[in-house]
Amino acid sequence: MSVLDWSAPYTGFVELAQQSGLVFARSAITIGNFDGVHLGHQSLLRRLRHEANELARTESSAPPLPTFALTFDPPPLFYINPSALPPALTTLPQRLQLLQQYVDHVVVIRTEPSLLQYTATDFFELILSQFRPRLIVEGTNFRFGRGRQGDVALLTQWCSRAGVRFVEVAPFERDGRVVSSSRVRAALAAGNVAEARVCLGRPHRLIGTVVGGARRGQTIGFPTANLDHLQTLVPAEGVYAARVPRPDRVYPAALNIGPNPTFGENRRKIEVHLIGFAGDLYGQTLQVDLLQYLRPTRSFAGPADLIAQLQTDVQRSRQIAEQEG
């Protein structure tokens, strides 16, 4: 498996691949942002692998088709309408790691304004053709080219003329609804991390940097790591059961998102208590997997009531994390 970084002027992909030790005469490809690499994406990627194997089987004299997932960084919307760009569900390294579970090679197309000027014809002839595709697999809603002028119907026609097999994949549904990045974001915005997990096939992961705080948690027996510079979407305010992978082990954790009204603090903070951890995390990047929503944030009569509730939160978080294995 390999990850290839492809930048403007988007020429000489075969040479770039060869420099990475990859030599291919034909390929099976799919293209998309793949933010979240949710169950819908996973279904598409599995179909790509299946169709590639079937095509190689029918062409018994040919070597297996290498599978490629082409993704964009940053997403094209970053240039087209940055104010409409939603928070990311995954960082680029996380996305690449997830994609590599399903395909042989991942290509990161570094998005430049010049790429957004490519017509649908340009995109097919100047981008896709460089992969020497024998197979292209895409979802029904796939769009490409300037102004999203290219669609599945147009891609089907071009593939037919070029002798490329094209497979259209219907939207993947779970619980009677299409699984999409938008559905995951809506679930997280409502604090429904269980619904997000159903769509992702894994817990949603927060990634941020530990910064200094008021250290009040230490004084009441519940030290917390304060997260800032969050790289992925933060769900609704509340208290969550979570887990935090560290080099030595995976720690159960209780996560609080919101203000601390008991002490008169109204600024939203993101604080995580690693159960059983002792040490200094300042300046480090922390990954927090959200397991279950526990309760809303609220004000308590005083520190004693807050401590009692935190004890309950920690106990429940530990139990949930242990049940998760």
Instruction: Give the DSSP H/E element, type plus range, for residue 227.
Output: strand 225-228
Contact call for residues 89 and 40 (beta carbons, < 8 A): no
Q: For residue 86, what pLDDT band results from cuts at 50, 70 and 90? A: very high
Q: For residue 162, what pLDDT band results from cuts at 50, 70 and 90? A: very high
Q: What is the pLDDT of residue 222?
A: 84
Beta-carbon contacts of residue 192 (< 8 Å; ≥ 6 apart) = 293
Q: What is the value of pTM for the model shown?
A: 0.92
Q: Is the pLDDT reported for residue 277 higher than 80?
A: yes
Which tokens in the block code for residue 70?
């082409």
Q: Residue 99, Cβ neighbours under 10 Å: how many? A: 26
From residue 129, give the alpha-carbon distance in Å to each of 28, 52, 103, 297: 12, 17, 19, 53
Q: What is the pLDDT of residue 262?
A: 60
pLDDT tens sequence across 108-138: 999 999 999 999 999 999 999 999 999 999 9
Q: For residue 295, what pLDDT band results from cuts at 50, 70 and 90? A: very high
Separation of alpha carbons 242 and 290, rounded Å: 5
Separation of alpha carbons 267 and 238, rounded Å: 14
Q: For residue 150, what pLDDT band results from cuts at 50, 70 and 90? A: very high
Q: What domains does the chain contain, in order, with CATH numbers?
A: 2-171 (3.40.50.620), 203-324 (2.40.30.30)
The four Cα atoms 225, 231, 233, 238 give a dihedral, to 10 degrees, of: 10
**DSSP line for 44-105:** HHHHHHHHHHHHHHHSTTSPPPPEEEEEEES-THHHH-GGGPPPPSS-HHHHHHHHTTT-SE
Give me the mean pLDDT over the 8-20 stretch.
91
Q: How far out from the chain centre does Cα 142 lie? A: 18
Q: Is the pLDDT reported for residue 89 higher than 60?
A: yes
What count of residues does the chain have? Answer: 325
Q: Residue 61, Cβ neighbours under 10 Å: how many? A: 4
pLDDT tens sequence across 199-240: 999 999 999 999 986 656 555 668 899 999 999 999 999 999
Q: How far out from the chain centre does Cα 35 lie? A: 4
Q: Is the pLDDT reported for residue 34 higher than 80?
A: yes
Separation of alpha carbons 230 and 263, rounded Å: 24
Round the average pLDDT of the chain to a whole number and report it. Answer: 92
pLDDT tens sequence across 244-270: 999 999 999 999 999 876 655 667 899
Contact call for residues 270 and 287 (beta carbons, < 8 A): no
The three-state secondary structure class of 97 is helix
Angle at 206 between CA 284 and CA 210, to 5 degrees: 25
Half-sphere exposure of 141 (CA within 13 A, CB side): 10
Cis peptide before 9 (omega within 30 of 0): yes
